[in-house]
Amino acid sequence: MPFINQLQHWAAARPHRPAVVVGTESLDFAALRDGAAGMGHGDRTLTIIDRHASTALAVEFCAAVAGGGVAAVLESTWPAALRASIAAQASSWAMTLPTPVPSDMGFFDGPPDSTFLLGLSSGTSGLPKAFTRSRESWRASFVHSVDYFGLAEGCITLAPGPMAASMNLYALGEAIHSGTTFVALPSFSPDAALAAIMHHAVTRLVLVPSVLGLLARRGLESGRGPGSLTSIVCAGSALPDTILEQARRWAPNARIDFYYGASELGFVAATRGTEPADAAPRTDSTTVESWGAPAAGRAFPGAELAVLGPTGALLGLEEIGSVYVRSPYVSNGYAWGDDGLSFSAATSGNQDAVQRSGQWFTVHDQGYLRGDGVLHLVGRAQDMVITSGSNVYPQQVEQALEGHPADGTVVVTGIADPIRGQRLVAGLVAGTLPMDDFLRACRERAARLPAHQRPTLYFALSRSPLSAGGKPSRTLLREWITAKGAHAQRIY
């Protein structure tokens, strides 16, 4: 199961408790159960859900995954042509699936090992990759995440990002599983999120770091506090210390948890709010330079971690390599778009190297383990910039260039260069500092870095280059720079 049997349970035990709230719309558990059961999607192989954030989306999602059904939820902000292409590809993929047998139909959870979700990677252009998940992968995740993040009776979760995003769909399922309330926004703005926090007495936030920064900054500027908020769960990209400090000033009584994972892997590692950021300096020769790589935390309950080198050898403590995980939370792999670079399993040789049974998986994030079991992330292998033969991780440079979170945001990437191979460039989004002052501050900080880690070009950005899920998109930044349009204006 993922959560349909639990929905049946809570519809009987807590029929009038709000289950899903989106804007002015609200459904209690009984209404959510009755609405989804009445749609009768359990006899379909695949249901493609293409609608704006609403309680109707939640109803259709529950209906689609009942029995042996599979759901694909499209992001409503993607262009219509892209959504149509995804729908066509998904329909073709569904033709390869077996027809559900009568015993797998109806409004209940289907077989644990059966597929229930066709997930989509976020992107800005081109057909996104699609991965599939078994019901058991979410069920196993719920068992641990509800306990780890402290979802208790009375919990009200706000996920202010798009409902179609993987982490927000999971938050919806997690709330249904635990019999608590899920709140979403018809459309995002910091003011709308702050208003929802107060109006619905939200106790828990689930969001990406960039959105947390926007909320905390706006809350401090406008004098609007966190209300009943006691828990903040952040994921999707590294949580900068500057945003963490800002969030703690805005919501001093809320526990801030961070977890590292991926749509394809599920939960990998996590840091509880009571633990320090713990970004220990690196000085050995396996690191690019001495710097504090952000801590992702220790292995999430039920998961095991290993770091492997390019040849598949198990690396020692504080040696940088690809982060692998073994857990019941991992997806089934790709339905389409598998290029072997984003998600892959360890080969039999790699498994021998770690000297453990079972299969290990990676999305090729780079990191290292310390003796205390804490995983530190350096960056994604696909984000790494190779300039004049030196490896540079953009995240490292961004951390070095950014000062106070209110000053502005830095996004670093590489663009093609005939001499260097790639040239390191930085995009700046000014905050409270005027752009000229922000640029000057960034260049002063860059001067303290090794030469190959200093951006050679700076661009003023019209807005932060974010994916549909609210994560920084270096691909989008490169597209803006290449287009030479209004989104990225060269300033140095």
Kindly state whether residue 437 falls inside one of the protein's structural domains.
yes
Residue 293: its pLDDT value, please?
A: 64
Kindly state whether residue 63 falls inside one of the protein's structural domains.
yes
pLDDT, average across residues 244-249: 91
Alpha helix segments (H runs only) across 205-318: 209-222, 241-250
**pLDDT for 410-434, tens place per residue?**
999 999 888 888 999 999 999 888 9
Claim to verify: residue 362 and residue 485 sit in the same structural domain:
no
Kindly state whether residue 195 falls inside one of the protein's structural domains.
no
Query: What is the domain count for the chain?
Result: 3
Residue 58: its pLDDT value, please?
A: 97
Per-residue pLDDT band at 287 (split at 50, 70, 90): very low
- Taking a C-beta distance cutoff of 8 angstroms, is the pair 26, 20 a contact? yes
Q: What letter does residue 265 receive in the DSSP assignment? A: T
Residue 303: its pLDDT value, please?
A: 96
Kindly state whether residue 218 falls inside one of the protein's structural domains.
no
Range of the domain at 398: 385-490
Claim to verify: residue 453 and residue 420 sit in the same structural domain:
yes
Claim to verify: residue 19 and residue 131 sit in the same structural domain:
yes
| Encoded tokens for 450 | 């090794």
**Mean pLDDT rounded to a whole number for the chain:** 87
The pLDDT > 90 percentage for the chain reads: 61
**pLDDT for 34-78, tens place per residue?**
999 998 755 568 999 999 999 999 999 999 999 989 999 998 888
CATH number at residue 338: 2.30.38.10
With a cut of 70, say whether residue 161 has pLDDT above it.
Answer: yes
Claim to verify: residue 369 and residue 391 sit in the same structural domain:
no
Claim to verify: residue 42 and residue 78 sit in the same structural domain:
yes
pLDDT, average across residues 297-319: 92
pLDDT, average across residues 324-336: 93
Helix (H) or strand (E) holding 140: helix 135-148
Residue 276: its pLDDT value, please?
A: 38
- Taking a C-beta distance cutoff of 8 angstroms, is the pair 42, 106 a contact? yes
* Residue that is last in its domain, among 327, 354, 381: 381
Q: Which amino acid is at 142?
A: F
| Encoded tokens for 121 | 């990677």
**pLDDT for 458-492, tens place per residue?**
999 999 898 766 778 888 999 999 999 899 999 99
**pLDDT for 352-361, tens place per residue?**
444 334 689 9
Q: What is the secondary structure of 141-181 as a DSSP string?
A: HHHHHHHHTT--TT-EEE--S-TTSHHHHHHHHHHHHHT-E
Claim to verify: residue 158 and residue 75 sit in the same structural domain:
yes
Termini Cα distance of the chain:
55
**What CA–CA distance (Å, rounded) separates 16 from 194?**
25
| Encoded tokens for 31 | 């209404």
Residue 127: its pLDDT value, please?
A: 79
**What CA–CA distance (Å, rounded) separates 139 from 104?**
18
CATH number at residue 176: 3.40.50.12780
- Range among 95-99, 100-104, 394-398 with highest mean pLDDT value: 394-398
Kindly state whether residue 17 falls inside one of the protein's structural domains.
yes
Kindly state whether residue 246 falls inside one of the protein's structural domains.
no
3-class DSSP state for residue 54? coil
- C-alpha to C-alpha distances, 52 to 77, 94, 440, 456, nearest whole angstrom: 8, 23, 42, 41
3-class DSSP state for residue 67? strand
* Residue that is last in its domain, among 139, 162, 188: 188
Claim to verify: residue 368 and residue 396 sit in the same structural domain:
no
Kindly state whether residue 337 falls inside one of the protein's structural domains.
yes
**Residue that has been written with the tokens 């001067």 in this structure:** 447
* Residue that is last in its domain, among 135, 162, 188: 188
Residue 136: its pLDDT value, please?
A: 95
CA angle 457, 212, 222 (to 5 degrees): 100
**What CA–CA distance (Å, rounded) separates 68 from 474?**
38
Claim to verify: residue 325 and residue 430 sit in the same structural domain:
no
Report the range of poorest mean pLDDT among 257-261, 288-292, 466-470. Answer: 288-292
Claim to verify: residue 10 and residue 87 sit in the same structural domain:
yes
Claim to verify: residue 397 and residue 323 sit in the same structural domain:
no
**pLDDT for 99-127, tens place per residue?**
766 656 678 999 999 999 999 875 445 67
